[in-house]
Amino acid sequence: MEFVSSTRSDNTDGRLQRSERSRQKILNAIVSLVEEGNLSPTAELVSRRAGVGLRTVFRHFDDMEALIAEMDLKVSEANAHLFEGVDRTGSLVERIRAVAEQRDRAFEEVKYVILSSQVHMWQSKTLRRNRAHKRRELRRDLENWLPEVKNLSVPRQAAAEAALCFETWYQLRYDQRLTRKKVVKSMNEMLCLLFGVDTG
């Protein structure tokens, strides 16, 4: 009986491992499609890219919204380092410049995943919760970079947060078609104006 029990356990472990590999293939597939600019890939495209059957996709995820929400969470976790690990010492002007450069690098890296999540957000409570959580994290990040922000008026605090948000970055970079260098300069100047300091 011990042998049979062990065999069943091995079989179960094998199935679980295969299932997890399939799930990972599906997540990798949708991430690759979105990063290529397809903000709303179909289940058929995902299954083909992953090399699994369409049924397998929906065995792991209830619907495409669930898959996109999972992608959003995993990509956020995998790219958390983009908002960390930078020297936060220096003058206020130096730190303003540094946080503007960091946000530019981070948003450029994850822009398509953010855009895809925004496309589907109003159909998904999970995506809306993810967005609210990320906004709070970015606000804490702003306060860590620039604790002086707490001394500003509430409207100016809100404006400082908006100056560094993805939507502002995207408008400057893709709607107004500024170079990345000019995007950083624009964000930098907005913050300097709010803090009442010279851009240097």
pLDDT in tens, 38-59: 999 999 999 999 999 999 999 9
pTM: 0.84
In CATH, what number is assigned to the domain containing residue 30? 1.10.10
Does one domain contain both 130 and 191?
yes
Q: Is position 68 within any domain?
A: no
Give residue 17's pLDDT band: very low, low, confident or very high (50, 70, 90).
Answer: confident
Portion of the chain with pLDDT greater than 90, in percent: 74
CA distance 109 to 175: 17
Q: Is position 111 within any domain?
A: yes
Q: Is position 186 within any domain?
A: yes
Does one domain contain both 191 and 102?
yes
User: Percent helix, strand and coil across the chain, each rounded to 5?
Assistant: 80, 0, 20
Q: Answer yes or no: is pLDDT of 8 > 80.
A: no
Q: How many domains does the chain have?
A: 2
Q: Is position 67 within any domain?
A: no
Q: Is position 70 within any domain?
A: no
Does one domain contain both 145 and 100?
yes
Q: Which residues contact 104 (CB under 8 A, 6 or more apart)?
A: 169, 180, 183, 184, 187
Instruction: Spell out a b/e string for 141-178, using b for 16 or more CB atoms within 10 Å of the CB, else e.
Output: bbeebbeebeebeeeebeebbebbbbebbbebbeeeee
Does one domain contain both 27 and 124?
no
Q: Answer yes or no: is pLDDT of 7 > 50.
A: no
Position 1 scores a pLDDT of 34
- Closest-CA residue to 160 (of 107, 83, 100): 100
Range of the domain at 133: 77-195
Does one domain contain both 183 and 134?
yes
Does one domain contain both 115 and 41?
no
Does one domain contain both 182 and 93?
yes
Does one domain contain both 16 and 101?
no
Does one domain contain both 55 and 91?
no
Does one domain contain both 44 and 109?
no
Q: Is position 72 within any domain?
A: no
Cβ pair 191, 97 in contact under 8 A: no
Q: Is position 156 within any domain?
A: yes
Does one domain contain both 126 and 182?
yes
Torsion of CA 79, 85, 90, 93, to 10 degrees: -10
Q: Answer yes or no: is pLDDT of 85 > 70.
A: no
Does one domain contain both 53 and 81?
no
